[in-house]
Structure 1
Amino acid sequence: MEDPPGRPCVSMSDDFMAHITEQMIQNVEVKDRTYKMKKYAKCFKGMDAVRFLVSRGYARNDDDGVKLGNCLMEMGMFSHVTRDHPLKNEDLFYRFAVHEEKFVRMASMGEKVGRPAGGLRQAGWADALLRSEHEAGAAGLQPGMPEWDRQEFTQGTKDVNVSPLDEHNIKLLDNVHPAQWTDPVPTKEKYNLVVIGAGSGGLVTAAGSAGVGARVAIVEEHLLGGDCLNVGCVPSKAIIRCARAAYEARNAAKFGLNVPVVEVNFGAVMERMRKIRAGISRHDSAARFTGLGVDVFIGHAQFRAKDTVMVNGKALKFAACVIASGATASVPPIKGLRDVPYLTNASFFNLTELPKRFGVIGTGVIGLELAQCMARFGSQVTVMGRSGKILEKEERDAVEIIQKQLVEDGITFKLHCQYKEVKKPSNGRIEVHIVNNGKPEIVVVDELLVATGRTPNVRGLDLEKAGVEYDEKKGIVVNEYLQTTAKSIYAVGDCCTEYKFTHVADAMARTVIRNALFFGAGKMSSLLIPWATFTEPEVAHVGLYEADLTKKGIKFQSFVKKLSEVDRAICDGQEEGFVKITVKEGTDKILGATIVAHNAGDMISEVSLAMQSGFGLGSIAYVIHPYPTQAEAVRMCGDLYNKTRLTAFIRSMFRNLLAWRRS
């Protein structure tokens, strides 16, 4: 049907709100008014508007009248004369859009001005009714990490021994620590920036700074790429994928497939990992960064002064410096542990043979990811901890699902341990003597992984000579702007933060480039940090936990959609898990989210984006998701929230609209 000539195409619902506005214009007293010696033309009082809406039955009471009036304001029908207030049932002045100066001028020129220029908000009045207030950005929504006493912990072996020296590891070393590397001649002028450490934080800092024209030098003691490339994210995810393949093959029968025998070739698994790592290493190579214009020095950095770093006998003068020295595995104070050949993440990836029995001390991310892999490859795995819990920072409903799967994978947990001693008898096995739940036990393993956290790399840098304050357990002291106690020296990554994640080091590096080179004021507290644990299923989180909110006295609501109610998860046979999104009570402002799913690490980014951009949970409900996907669970949480917005007031408005349409 064509629209009447000269009349904009609008929905009947918009017409209804326009009808209310037209009735207000005809019945609410409009006149010139004076406030604080200033005259305002053609105004009405907020209290008169509320009284009118109630008297005509558009609203049931004054509170509903205020809500309806603010919906009209949201649609541009009228505004406060100085744009300082929403509609209030008070002696405040408001002006209809058609009485604004620009519309009066248009009318004097013979133009139609029955509605504000541009028409109504495209979303319509129902959207305005259901809209909730939420703040832009997500500052202040970062939870603290679990704390425990590390005073007796010591730092593990810092140097990474790459083994075996096959073609893949040789290719790796050729990229990240070339045997014949020759340091460049330092510039006679000061570098704009000297970076200490070539892990994720250091490499992003160096590449980004060089990219904007800075003269940059980077110093790496051993392997460019840091833990992430060499002994962290990249190799661990490569073997996690293999472990998943083994698990799926063993459980193929539930999909109607017959796989009679599943044999794991652990040597081939680890070779695949080494090949993948070597291929990716070209992105972090000394040659690539030299090509970007960065002076690459391979050696041990030490400060000589507040503006000078020494490496291999060469003095690097700088205008600014960024310390990105990373962290190393922490070793707990267990009698005899230092006398046995234990593994950390720095040595685990050198394994070539599958141990029959595999022990893990530690119940955090690294320990559990690798424990699940080894169990799926066929090792008898025992995980030991002291606190009675695994993944302490995560919410218990999420942890229950993860722990249930780990037990199904064959992992034995001993979570109330007192460690007495670690021994290596003459038979070559390792014995961990514990008291678990009050009972003495001996856990016998062929390989023992120690995964009890990370210690910042701050020793041996001579930070005192630069005036940089630090703590050997907590790391380098930085302010909100990532600046150390020496104003021209900054720090990023594991050496200075409790959030020891590759993506955090990356984000900190991007912030510090602005601050160190261009007098920026980027703050660490403005970073919204999501994270994921890559067990199967994965658990991912962003924002504050429910426990954090309770502790802060913030009232909240949580909306949960179980994967057992999501079609794609059912089809995939991945029904164990959920999406939980928490909002501030009475609004759709997202305060935090936890997802347990087989691709939770990918799914959490949608929530992170909404939080960072200031979009509320109600808005997510209107984002079309492809069907069928597991990410639909995120949208479904938005639907659950919007159902709570259908209050008695909104129902009455819908009834009024429908009655008006019948008239």
Structure 2
Amino acid sequence: MARLLTPDICVIGAGSAGLSVAAAAAAFGVDVVLIEKGLMGGDCLNYGCVPSKALLAAAKAASGAANGGRFGVVCDGPALDFAAANDHVRRVIDAIAPHDSQERFEGLGVTVLRDAATFTAPDRLVAGDHEIRARRFVIATGSSAMVPPIPGLDGVPYLTNETLFALRERPEHLAIVGGGPIGLEMAQAHRRLGSRVTVLEARKALAKDDPDLAATVLGALRAEGVEILEDTGVEEVRQSDGGVLVAAKAADGVTLEVSATHLLVATGRAPNVAGLGLEAAGVAFDRKGIRVDKGLRTSNRKIYAIGDVAGGLQFTHVAGHQAGLVIRSILFRLPVKMNADLVPWVTYTSPELGHVGLSEAAAREKYGDRVRVLAADYSGNDRARAEDLTAGRLKLVAGPGGRLLGADIVGAQAGEIINLLSLALSKKMTMKDLAGFISPYPTLGELVRRAAISYYGDAPGNVWVRRAIAFLRKFG
């Protein structure tokens, strides 16, 4: 006989979204069951954001050591120890893991079940030898690496983000299928740690970002020795004596072959819906994920879906934000609405690439000639000059009344600067607001104020402004 549990909330998935819901609900004294069939912490902690940024940090240290000559710091060249870099990745994961652990959540009062969950009816599911009937369910099962149907791929060894960080030996030549953020971050990291790297992208690399600013990132990676082949589709993969042979065709019909020791597939993510029994639960879904309304409810009003499994923008910070919305809806019966237009994102290459709000093209489509694009170059920023980080640019998209509609930035610490702009966008700030705050000198954040001030750049030449000044001078 299955043991029956009747919590107020049952959460499926112990990644960023699920953990946030469980912790918040438990803090309010609500009875919660949390189900996880894999590792606590989910993809972000174990295979995603945490290990990738840790490896990028190791790569940045290697690059700094190799390029210190311009600051008068000269060495014979860094000794690259790939295994030691991997040790750093493991230490970072191990340091964060206790925060996401089963022990911590059980200490918070959450019942944690380490099993696969399957709905058997619209109001119940089974997990191991437990049956759970909850007032509300939250599906937060995340996503997994999407493996495209490339001929021959199933017959060769290949890596995804779920296996990449287990490597202890440096890949001699890493071929990467996919020129999105994950592919390019790992391309630069491995190149800086001594690997030869070739990226194959069927369309344009970093296609979701501002094309001019994305070009800066691609140029930087190419300058470091990363080979990036855009408009090049992979047609076949087969094993070779040295590892893997990738056959591809460019848009102009030219065929080519890339012989690599390792192959990384970074072609996007697929929602984890298999085995959940969504049909039995009356939950509608498709290949993009579980369908939800603006309040994150599924077609079954008792069940919510948040994070990657609900499709849309697949970021840890989106999952965390949605968790907060769901808590407000379930516990306090407040109306909530997910606004994807306010979601920022960052690609953590060097230079970084960040975005929030409407792109220039989207803004012009909506507001026409009432849109102005204001820019500030890193080359005009004193802090960037001092640190030799002058490759970069900030763009602010201003709409009617000078209201901030969106922003794009490429350059050092773009992710930190986009934080300020994300807040400004959410609070409907204008160029007047962004031009009026006091920024400490010298900081890269001054770029925001400089760009905003340019909104008023034609004021000194305005004849009516000059006449007003002349009139006021008459009063002494």
TM-score (norm: length of structure 1): 0.70
Q: Which residue of 2 aligns with 1:390?
A: 205
Q: Which residue of 1 aligns with 2:275?
A: 460
How far 1:186 sits from its partner (Å)?
5.5
Q: Could you tell me which residue of structure 1 aligns to residue 227 of structure 2? A: 412
Q: What is residue 654 of structure 1 aligned with on the other side?
A: 469
Query: Please, which of 279, 284, 298 is the counterpart of residue 484 of structure 1?
Result: 298
CA distance in 1, matches of 2:391, 2:365: 29
Structure-2 separation of matches of 1:410 and 1:527: 35
CA deviation after TM superposition for structure 1 residue 517, in Å? 2.3
Query: Structure 2: which amino acid aligns with 1:234?
Result: V
> What are structure 2's unaligned runs of at least 5 residues?
none
Alignment of 1:344-363 (within 5 A): 344-363=160-179
Q: For residue 210 of structure 1, give the secondary structure of its aligned residue in structure 2.
A: helix
| 2:16 and 2:319 in contact (8 A); partners too | yes
| Residue 357 of structure 1, CA deviation | 0.6
**Which residue matches 1:609?**
423
1:500 matched to 2:317? The reply is no
If the length of structure 2 is used for normalisation, what is the TM-score?
0.97
Q: Does 1:530 align with 2:344?
A: yes
Structure 1 residue 659 displacement after superposition? 1.7
Aligned counterpart, 1:28: none
Deviations 1:186-210 (A, max 9, x none): 64xx311100011101000111111
Secondary structure of the structure 2 residue equivalent to 1:372? helix
**Unpaired runs of at least 5, structure 1:** 1-183
Structure 1 CA distance for aligned equivalents of residues 185 and 329 of structure 2: 36
- The equivalent residue for 2:413 is 599
Provide the residue aligned with 2:453 in structure 1: 639
Matched, 1:441 2:259: no
Shift of the alpha carbon at 1:416?
2.3
Give the corresponding residue for 2:105: 289
In structure 1, give the amino acid aligned to 2:334. G
Q: Is the 8 A contact 2:376 2:450 kept in 1?
A: yes
Q: Secondary structure at the match of 1:468?
A: coil
Counterpart for residue 46 of structure 2: 230
Amino acid at match of 2:79: E
**Structure 2 SS opposite 1:520:** coil
Is the 8 Å Cα contact of residues 320 and 517 (structure 1) preserved in structure 2?
no
Residue from 614, 623, 629 that aligns with 2:443:
629
Equivalent pair of 2:367/2:399 in contact (CA under 8 Å): no
User: In the alignment, what sits opposite 2:216?
Assistant: 401
Change (3 A) 1:415 1:651: same
1:366 and 1:615 map into 2 onto residues whose CA distance is 32
Q: Is the 8 A contact 2:435 2:453 kept in 1?
A: yes
Asked if 2 retains the 8 angstrom alpha-carbon contact of 1:192 and 1:517, the reply is no
Same amino acid, percent of matched pairs? 39
Deviation at 1:420, TM superposition (A): 2.4
CA distance in 2, matches of 1:301, 1:295: 14
- Which residue type is aligned with residue 463 of structure 1? L
Partners of 2:46 and 2:62 in 1: CA distance: 24
The code of the aligned residue for 1:404 comes to G
Question: Does residue 1:212 correspond to 2:28, yes or no?
Answer: yes
- Cα-to-partner distance string for 1:197-229 (whole Å, 9 max, x where unaligned): 111010001111111121111101111101110
Aligned residues: 472
Partner of 1:154: none
1:360, CA displacement in angstroms? 0.2
Query: Partner amino acid for 1:617?
Result: M
How far is the alpha carbon of 1:289 from its aligned partner? 0.5
Partner amino acid, structure 2, of 1:384: L
Report the CA distance between 1:392 and its aligned residue. 0.3
| Mapped contact 2:141–2:309 kept (Cα < 8 A) | yes
Instruction: Please list, as runs of the form range in 1=range in 2, the aligned pairs for 1:24-423 lying within 5 A after superposition.
Output: 187=5, 190-387=6-203, 389-423=204-238
Q: Give 1:322 shift.
A: 0.5
Instruction: Tell whether the 8 Å contact from 2:344 to 2:354 is kept in structure 1 after alignment.
Output: yes
Q: Provide the alpha-carbon RMSD of the alignment.
A: 1.5
Do 1:363 and 1:390's aligned partners in 2 also have CA atoms closer than 8 Å?
yes
Q: Shift of the alpha carbon at 1:551?
A: 3.0
Residue in 1 that maps onto 2:434: 620
Where in structure 2 are the equivalents of 1:523-562 lying within 5 Å? 523-525=337-339, 528-554=342-368, 555-562=370-377
Secondary structure of the structure 1 residue equivalent to 2:11: strand
CA deviations over 1:169-196 (Å, ceiling 9, x no partner): xxxxxxxxxxxxxxx9764xx3111000
| Contact in 1 for aligned 2:106/2:112 (Cα 8 Å) | yes
Alpha-carbon offset, residue 612 of structure 1 = 1.1
Amino acid at match of 1:604: I
Work out whether residues 54 and 89 of structure 2, in 8 Å CA contact, stay in contact via their aligned partners in 1: yes
CA distance in 2, matches of 1:526, 1:233: 20
